[in-house]
Amino acid sequence: MEQKFAAQLFTLREELTKGIAPVFRELKEMGWAGVQISALPANHNPEEVADALRETGLGTAGMHISLDRLENDLENVIKEADLYGTRDIICPFLPQDYQNVEGYKKLKEKLNEIASNVPNYRISYHNHAFEFETEIDGVSALEYLLAPTEDNLILAEIDVYWVKKGGRNPVSFIQPYAKRMPIIHLKDMSNDEKEIFAEVGTGKIDFVPILQWGEKSGVEWYAVEQDICPGNPMDSLRISLDNLMHLKDQI
């Protein structure tokens, strides 16, 4: 299972501004099998990223791409996906004006249209907690977007922290997305009233049943993201990976 553990680069957004290759080398040395492309410096050269991937042998656990780029720069997004050796393209966040019933309906239509235009690639949506605040057709906006029906081409990239933050049980919530979630996001929730981001295995989320489900349900990458770390983000990623290595032995 360790060949499926990937570091989400948003965790290292500040470190990446000092150099992409050194960050990738440190992650590889730490024991990560892959990275999820996100939060690269604004002036980065995609060839530099590809070179760092080739040098380290890290796999690519998909790319987080803004809705704006998906709509207006899809050709270059596809070129980058090919360059990085992935077919997973994930919409990671929504502008405020989309966070309402009409916005979610428009988003579902747009992402399905994009997915149908690039059938060799997989288009997924990454959640936060705000999608649980809107109801559409009797379910949360997130369940509406990710409805596991044949005519819906949007795949899931569930973030278990945000599901719990939204008041749902992560293990129960992911059940409908078997074979529809190539990548899952892992981050823990602090075991106190603050309920802030925490290293995997140090908080209140039980990851064993999540990993067990993933292994039976087609998860190809377990991407670890910690939006805010208490100290050096590399230290947080090291703790998460060490704990995942122990947790996998319980699967």
CATH value at residue 206: 3.20.20.150
> What percent of the chain shows pLDDT beyond 70?
100
| Rg of the Cα atoms in the chain | 17
Cβ–Cβ < 8 Å for 187, 197: yes
Strand-pair partners of 121: none
Strand-pair partners of 7: 35, 224
Strand-pair partners of 34: 6, 59
pLDDT in tens, 124-160: 999 999 999 999 999 999 999 999 999 999 999 999 9
Alpha-carbon distance of 90 to 93, in angstroms, equals: 9
Whole-model pTM above 0.85?
Answer: yes
Strand-pair partners of 188: 198
Residue matched to tokens 């973030």: 159
List the domain range (segments joined by +) for residue 65. 2-248
Cα–Cα distances (Å) from 251 to 109, 157, 169, 219, in that order, read: 38, 21, 20, 14
- pLDDT on residue 16: 98
Give the count of domains, the chain.
1
Alpha-carbon distance of 54 to 240, in angstroms, equals: 24
Alpha-carbon distance of 198 to 201, in angstroms, equals: 8
- pLDDT on residue 167: 98
Cα–Cα distances (Å) from 59 to 85, 193, 210, in that order, read: 8, 37, 22
pLDDT in tens, the chain (251 residues): 999 999 999 999 999 999 999 999 999 999 999 999 999 999 999 999 999 999 999 999 999 999 999 999 999 999 999 999 999 999 999 999 999 999 999 999 999 999 999 999 999 999 999 999 999 999 999 999 999 999 999 999 999 999 999 999 999 999 999 999 999 999 999 999 999 999 999 999 999 999 999 999 999 999 999 999 999 999 999 999 999 999 999 99
